[in-house]
């Protein structure tokens, strides 16, 4: 009784309290979204990613006190949609400055249902109206509803009120999940007025509707689910179907705290040292920036103080810079501007020496497929997918950008086991496929790193006979060579099994694809036999349909890319595994010959069938030229000169590496191309305050940053009079924290403060893999840079990818070599 009275008193008090802290109406700004100092409402500026389904960046979205806390305000066909569930088709978006309205029209064409979502500003929020010229189709009655999803990381450990009745957001989901067609999820609450986090002046959101609202925990269905507020669309009604009033706590005096972007790893004494201060668009750019030296007794001395220099605005923020290049004394330092003080970082000759160790020592071994990976008391995963692989069915469009064409292009029938594919390779990313295009890109980066820098570090035991890898245990063999071997084994196995490179190997079912944890638990490691019951096995075969599929359609560009990696690997493996080296080179030479004087196979699907034909052919020609010196490859490179000149930024590394084998005419044209590229590069890297190219796609751009750093290394080596090494160090600084949104290092376990919550195979544990690199800052349209550290499931920002590890390893060692730090 006492508890009941207490709850009633709390609920009454909270209802009586103001939902907002100031009264203002968001303005429709020149970037076509509604905005006031602490609240932005974005209406369909972003759209679902058509390649990968729902990426949590669409519909009506709320940016509250600088953080995106709600997304996907749209009509969905279930209470807690998964990434691969149906999404509507975008029709058009209109912005009416006269009526202060943004509207978006969408459609579910398969149900002949078109609707319009209109948004107009109200005090501290927005009114959403959903209308349709005709009633909800009978097939969608009770299924179609307006959903808005709220970020769990923002609302964990807070409460809610549902028509005054209190409840709490669970830290972890409980109860029954939604299974479409079988049972509905159990809601957390139902009401016509929902108040999220009423106790918090920086998180409080109220949603009011004339029709019932239901609150769900989408994480019960999928770990990447959000809290969902849903209103089911009424039947037998047309015109206005639903109206929501969404308001939030606001503070018109609120300013985002300054963020001091800097390198969490620190700086070499002689390098350029430049912090970039990110400021709220309404903040005054005044005061002094300070560099503090941290002494052994904890005291701090200001060693440099200056007014930061204002630079051009970028995205939604203002920027100013603070240069402390002249400070070269070794020591521990911090940066301070107004109320913000950074974590400590070193200025030291050895600042970068160990920055690449975690990537080679830990990330690469953890990603190794077909072996058990152990680390002290922990097993990262067992020896998985030893039943690889079944021939994929023909005329089949799969998920994750895989597809099989009208024939298998092999001697195997659909569903038949292809022997020999259960060796080598790395888990491509935060999932468990062997994507060939990533594999050969990774191998070539590792080969270049070995050849340029002679890396012989040994901290990992690899035992192929036992299919066993042990981290932190040396075995007398260079780890880099062992990783090159591992990638080479997978690429070579494809040629041995079917005679050509294949797009890749991936699980057949979404329920396996979304698997989190140990890859071994996806499969019984026994070859599937359709004649057996799923409870039968003979120790070699079983009736369990859990084997991955091999997608085998021929692609000439993919073939060239694979033969390039095999030719390159053969050079480094010559003194380490000479039999494997010879087999790799022989395979590459034979594959090149097989492509001569025939029409290329140009089967293309997404990013699994290789790059452009000339781009991939150039890779093969250069690697075979460097490996053999054969004039036929020299002639091929010469024939590709127009392609090199037209796409010099992407071709420069190959063009430069071919120089020692080419004639003077070639060298002159490459020099001219390098001269022409320089102003283009300078223009591209001057579009933001960070001095690198920041891409604005659905996948953030750390890969581009690293690729350009590698290119800069080769251009600097070939043409030091044209190209400095500055971009290499700027690129590393960017990865280590000198980037928009935050100052966190994007390399887990590298730098004082680094990514601890990321999209690896262990993402459900809100954890990280040491030495792995995330994609980075995603620029959400029209102007929000974002990289969530408290939510790992946004793959476009936080998914580790194996080839970034290879290009990063190269870049750090390039910086060390140029600084005279390589042995």
- Determine how β-strand 227-232 pairs with β-strand 159-162: unpaired
* 3-class secondary structure, 716: helix
Give the least confident one: 1-10, 276-285, 601-610, 769-778: 1-10
Read off the pLDDT of residues 299-329 as tens digits, 9 standing for 90 and up.
999 999 999 999 999 999 999 999 999 999 9
Band the pLDDT of 4: cuts 50, 70, 90: very low
- Domain with residues 259-347, CATH architecture: Sandwich (2.60)
Report how far residue 218's alpha carbon sits from residue 360's, in angstroms, rounded to the nearest whole number.
Answer: 37
- 471 beta partners: 375, 460
One-character DSSP codes across 263-311? -SS-B-TTS--EEEEEE-TTS---S-EEEEEEPTTS-EEEEEEEPPEEE
- Of the pLDDT bands very low, low, confident and very high (cuts 50, 70, 90), residue 8 is very low
Residues 505, 434 contacting (CB under 8 angstroms): yes
Q: Name the band, by pLDDT with cuts 50, 70 and 90, for residue 17.
A: very low
Strand (E) or helix (H) holding 77: none
Which residue in the block uniquely carries the two structure tokens 């948004």? 119
Binned at pLDDT 50, 70 and 90, residue 22 comes out as low
Token reading at 10: 């709390």
Peptide bond into 586 cis (omega under 30): no
Map out the domains of the chain as residue ranges: 18-248, 259-347, 356-626
Strands (DSSP E) found in 151-268: 159-162, 165-168, 189-196, 205-217, 227-232, 239-248, 259-261
Specify whether the CB–CB gap between 266 and 344 falls below 8 A: no
pLDDT tens per residue, range 62-81: 999 999 999 999 999 999 99
**Span 407-418, average pLDDT:** 98
Domain 18-248 fold is: Beta-galactosidase; Chain A, domain 5 (2.70.98)
- Read off the pLDDT of residues 166-178 as tens digits, 9 standing for 90 and up: 999 999 999 888 8
Q: What is the pLDDT of residue 381?
A: 97
The 3-class SS string of 528-549 reads ECCCCCCCCECCCEECCCCCCE
Q: For residues 520 and 522, give the distance between their C-alpha atoms in angstroms, rounded to a whole number.
A: 5
Strands (DSSP E) contained in 685-799 are 778-780, 784-786
Answer yes or no: are the C-beta atoms of 734 and 745 closer than 8 Å.
no
Q: How far apart are the first and last CA of the chain?
A: 75
What 8-state DSSP symbol labels residue 521? G
Residue 697 is predicted with a pLDDT of: 87
Give mean pLDDT, residues 34-42. Answer: 97
Q: Tell me the percentage of the chain whose pLDDT exceeds 70.
A: 97
Region 508-527: mean pLDDT is 93
Q: Do the beta carbons of residue 301 and residue 295 sit within 8 Å?
A: yes
As to burial, measured by CB atoms within 10 angstroms (0-12 exposed, 13-18 middle, 19+ buried), residue 111 is middle
Cα 508-509-510 angle, rounded to 5 deg: 135
What's the pLDDT at 823?
65
Rg, Å, the chain Cα set: 28
- Which two tokens mark 391? 């021939």
Task: Give exposure, 453-466, as e/b (b: 16+ Cβ within 10 Å).
Answer: bebeebbbbbeeee
Residues 127-145: tens digit of each pLDDT: 999 999 999 999 999 999 9
Beta-bridged to residue 179, according to DSSP, are 183
Segment (H or E) for 334 = strand 331-337
What is the SS3 assignment for 726-750? HHHHHHHHHHCCCCCCCCCECECCC
Q: What angle do CA 617, 479, 713 make, to 5 degrees?
A: 50
pLDDT tens, position by position, 105-116 = 999 999 999 999
User: In 10 A of CB 10, how many CB atoms?
Assistant: 15
Residues belonging to the chain: 823
Yes or no: say if 159 and 168 are a contact pair by the CB < 8 Å rule.
yes
The mean predicted confidence, pLDDT, of the chain is 95
For 495, the token pair is: 């040629």
Report the DSSP beta bridge partners of residue 800. none
Closest among 547, 546, 556 to 603, alpha carbons compared? 556
- Does residue 99 carry a pLDDT above 80? yes
Residue 370: left if φ>0, alpha if ψ -120 to 50, beta else—which one? left
- In this prediction, residue 6 carries a pLDDT of 33
Token pair 């050969």 in the structure block, residue: 440
Element (H, E) at 44: none
Number of neighbouring beta carbons within 10 Å of residue 170: 17
Q: What pLDDT, on a 0 to 100 scale, did the predictor assign at position 508? A: 95
Give the mean model confidence (pLDDT) for residues 577-600: 97
User: Is the predicted pLDDT of residue 332 greater than 60, yes or no?
Assistant: yes
Taking only the tens place, the pLDDT of each residue in 741-756 is 999 999 999 999 999 9
**Pick from 712, 427, 703, 451: nearest CA to 567:** 451
The full 3-state SS of 139-203, as one line of letters, equals HHCCCCEEEEEECHHHHCCCEEEECCEEEECCCCCCCCCCECCCECCCCCEEEEEEEECCCCCCC
Judged against a pLDDT cut of 50, whether residue 9 lies above it is answered with no
Statement: residue 530 has pLDDT above 50 = yes
- CA-based nearest residue to 778, from 56, 54, 82, 52: 56
d(CA 749, CA 264): 11
pTM higher than 0.85: yes
Express each pLDDT in 165-220 by its tens digit. 999 999 999 988 888 888 889 999 999 999 999 999 999 999 999 899 999 999 99
568, HSE (Cβ side, Cα atoms, 13 Å): 32
How many whole angstroms separate alpha carbon 451 and alpha carbon 588?
Answer: 19
Whether residue 608 contacts residue 551, with contact meaning beta carbons closer than 8 Å, is answered with yes
Residue 184, Cβ density class (10 Å: 0-12 exposed, 13-18 middle, ≥19 buried): middle
Strand, coil or helix: 636? helix
pLDDT digits (tens, 9 = 90+) for 81-98: 998 899 999 999 999 999
Taking the C-alpha atoms of 384, 390, 395 and 401 in order, what is their torsion angle to the nearest 10 degrees? Answer: 10
Judged by DSSP in three states, 496 sits in helix
CATH number of this structure's domain 356-626: 1.50.10.10
Q: Are 343 and 265 in contact (CB under 8 A)?
A: no
Percentages helix, strand, coil for the chain, rounded to the nearest 5? 30, 25, 45
* Contact (Cβ atoms closer than 8 angstroms) between residue 198 and residue 159: yes
């Amino acid at each position: 009784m006492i508890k009941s009275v207490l709850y009633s008193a709390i609920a009454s008090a909270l209802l009586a309290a103001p939902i907002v802290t100031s009264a203002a109406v968001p303005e429709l700004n020149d970037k076509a979204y509604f905005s006031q100092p602490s609240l932005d409402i974005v209406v369909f500026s972003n759209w679902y990613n058509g390649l990968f389904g729902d990426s949590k960046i669409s519909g009506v979205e709320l940016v509250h006190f600088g953080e995106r806390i709600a997304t996907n305000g749209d009509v969905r066909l279930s209470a807690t949609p998964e990434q691969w569930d149906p999404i509507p088709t975008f029709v058009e978006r209109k912005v009416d400055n006269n009526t202060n309205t943004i509207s978006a029209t969408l459609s579910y064409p398969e149900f002949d249902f078109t609707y319009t979502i209109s948004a107009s500003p109200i005090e501290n929020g927005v009114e959403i109206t959903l209308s349709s010229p005709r009633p909800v189709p009978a097939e969608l009655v009770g299924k179609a509803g307006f959903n808005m999803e709220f970020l769990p990381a923002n609302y964990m450990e807070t409460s809610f009120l549902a028509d005054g009745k209190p409840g709490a957001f669970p830290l972890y989901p409980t109860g029954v999940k939604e299974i479409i067609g079988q049972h509905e999820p159990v809601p957390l609450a139902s009401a016509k007025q929902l108040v999220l986090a009423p106790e918090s002046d920086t998180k409080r959101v109220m949603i009011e509707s004339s029709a019932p609202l239901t609150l769900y925990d989408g994480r019960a269905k999928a770990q990447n689910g959000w809290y969902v507020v849903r209103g089911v669309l009424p039947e037998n009604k047309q015109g206005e179907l639903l109206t929501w009033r969404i308001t939030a706590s606001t503070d018109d005096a609120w300013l985002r705290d300054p963020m001091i972007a800097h390198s969490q790893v620190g700086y070499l004494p002689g390098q350029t040292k430049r912090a970039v201060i990110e400021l709220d668009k309404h903040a005054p750019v005044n005061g002094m920036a300070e560099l503090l030296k941290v002494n052994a007794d904890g005291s701090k001395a200001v060693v440099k103080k200056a007014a930061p220099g204002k630079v051009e605005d970028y995205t939604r923020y203002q920027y100013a810079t603070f240069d402390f290049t002249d400070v070269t004394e070794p020591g521990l330092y911090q940066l301070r501007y107004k109320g913000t003080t950074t974590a400590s970082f070193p200025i030291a000759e050895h600042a970068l020496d160990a920055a690449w160790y975690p990537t080679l020592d830990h990330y690469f071994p953890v990603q190794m497929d077909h072996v058990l990976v152990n680390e002290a008391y922990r097993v990262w995963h067992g020896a998985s997918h030893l039943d690889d692989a079944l021939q994929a069915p023909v005329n089949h469009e799969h998920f994750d950008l895989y597809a099989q064409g009208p024939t298998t292009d092999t001697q195997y029938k659909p569903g038949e086991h292809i022997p020999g594919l259960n060796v080598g390779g790395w888990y491509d990313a935060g999932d468990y496929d062997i994507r060939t295009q990533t594999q050969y890109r990774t191998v070539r980066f590792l080969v270049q790193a070995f050849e340029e820098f002679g890396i012989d570090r040994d901290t990992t035991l690899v035992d192929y006979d036992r299919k066993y890898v042990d981290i932190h245990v040396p075995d007398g063999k260079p780890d880099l060579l062992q990783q090159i071997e591992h990638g080479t084994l997978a690429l070579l196995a494809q040629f041995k099994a079917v005679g050509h490179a294949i797009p890749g190997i991936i699980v057949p079912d979404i329920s396996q694809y979304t698997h989190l944890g140990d890859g071994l638990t996806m499969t019984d490691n026994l070859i599937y036999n359709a004649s057996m019951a799923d409870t039968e096995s003979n120790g070699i075969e079983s009736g369990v349909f859990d084997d991955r599929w091999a997608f085998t359609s021929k692609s000439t560009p993919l073939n060239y890319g694979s033969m390039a990696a095999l030719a390159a690997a053969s050079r480094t493996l010559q003194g380490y595994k000479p039999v494997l080296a010879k087999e790799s080179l022989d395979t590459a030479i034979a594959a090149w010959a097989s492509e001569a004087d025939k029409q290329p196979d140009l089967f293309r699907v997404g990013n699994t069938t290789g790059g452009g034909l000339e781009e991939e052919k150039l890779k093969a020609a250069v690697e075979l030229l460097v490996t053999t010196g054969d004039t036929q490859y020299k002639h091929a490179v010469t024939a590709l000169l127009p392609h090199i000149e037209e796409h010099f930024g992407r071709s420069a590394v190959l063009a430069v590496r071919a120089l020692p084998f080419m004639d003077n005419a070639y060298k002159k044209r490459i020099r001219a191309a390098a001269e022409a590229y320089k102003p283009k590069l300078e223009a591209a890297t001057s579009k933001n305050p960070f001095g690198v190219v920041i891409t604005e796609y659905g996948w953030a751009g750390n890969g581009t940053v690293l690729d350009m750093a590698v290119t800069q290394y080769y251009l600097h080596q070939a043409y030091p009079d044209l190209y400095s090494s500055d971009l290499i160090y700027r690129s590393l600084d960017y990865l280590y924290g000198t980037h928009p949104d935050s100052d966190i290092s994007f390399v887990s376990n590298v730098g004082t403060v680094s990514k601890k919550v990321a999209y690896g195979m262990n993402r459900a544990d809100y954890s990280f893999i040491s030495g792995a690199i995330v994609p980075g800052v995603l620029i959400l349209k029209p102007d929000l840079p974002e990289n969530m550290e408290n939510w790992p499931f946004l793959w476009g920002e936080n998914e580790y990818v194996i080839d970034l590890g290879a290009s990063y390893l190269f870049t750090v060692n390039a910086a060390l070599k140029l600084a005279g730090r390589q042995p």
